[in-house]
């Protein structure tokens, strides 16, 4: 088994999905993606660093 120091997180991601009744034959599905950066992170897509923080999509 691999031993991991859980105090050394770099990144975490949470997906939250909620489904609501809408009409007699329909539902609405709402989703939220939350990224938690625990350390400064380099993004190749923007060629820039981002500070620790939360990004919500």
In this prediction, residue 57 carries a pLDDT of 67
User: Which residues, 6 or more positions from 28, have their beta carbon under 8 angstroms from its beta carbon?
Assistant: 19, 20, 22
Token duo for residue 29: 């599905």
What's the average model confidence in pLDDT over 24-49? 93
Domain boundaries, the chain: 11-49
C-alpha angle 46-47-50 in degrees, rounded to nearest 5 = 75
What's the average model confidence in pLDDT over 4-31? 95
Percent of the chain having pLDDT more than 90? Answer: 77
For 13-25, the pLDDT digits (tens) are 999 999 999 999 9
What is the overall mean pLDDT for the chain? 92
């Amino acid at each position: 088994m691999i031993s991991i120091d859980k105090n050394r997180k770099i990144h975490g991601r949470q997906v939250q999905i909620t489904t609501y009744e809408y009409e007699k034959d329909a539902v609405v599905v709402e989703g939220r993606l939350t990224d938690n950066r625990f350390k400064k992170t380099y993004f190749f897509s923007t060629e820039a660093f981002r500070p620790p923080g939360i990004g919500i999509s």
